[in-house]
Amino acid sequence: MQSRNKVFDDLSQLMTNAMGVAQGAKGEAENAMKSFFDRWMADKEFVSREEFDAVRLMAQKAREENDALKARIEALEGK
């Protein structure tokens, strides 16, 4: 029985080591994918939400000013 316990102990240790290696590989793969994705996003020159909102607000103000000027021109032409 002693030799059978040794085999199971060795097999158990082997499986434990394999799980440790698998978990380490998973962490390395996650880090590599995150680095790749970060580089890809930087290369595509995406804008942040804050930048997008600021430009959208500027465009909205420009449209409102355009409409006001258009109404003013129409009023002046009508006189």
- Alpha-carbon distance of 59 to 5, in angstroms, equals 76
Look at residue 30 and tell me whether its pLDDT is greater than 60. Answer: yes
> How many domains would you assign to the chain?
2
- Helix %, strand %, coil % for the chain, to 5? 90, 0, 10
Q: What is the pLDDT of residues 54-74, one digit of tens each?
A: 999 999 999 999 999 999 999
- Structural domain for 12, as ranges: 1-44
Instruction: Please give the model's pTM, rounded to 2 decimal places.
Output: 0.46
pLDDT recorded at residue 12: 86
- Selected residue with higher pLDDT from 56 and 13: 56
51 and 40 in a single domain? The answer is no
15 and 29 in a single domain? The answer is yes
Look at residue 14 and tell me whether its pLDDT is greater than 80. Answer: yes
pLDDT recorded at residue 26: 86
- Any idea what DSSP says for residue 44? T
- Alpha-carbon distance of 53 to 41, in angstroms, equals 19
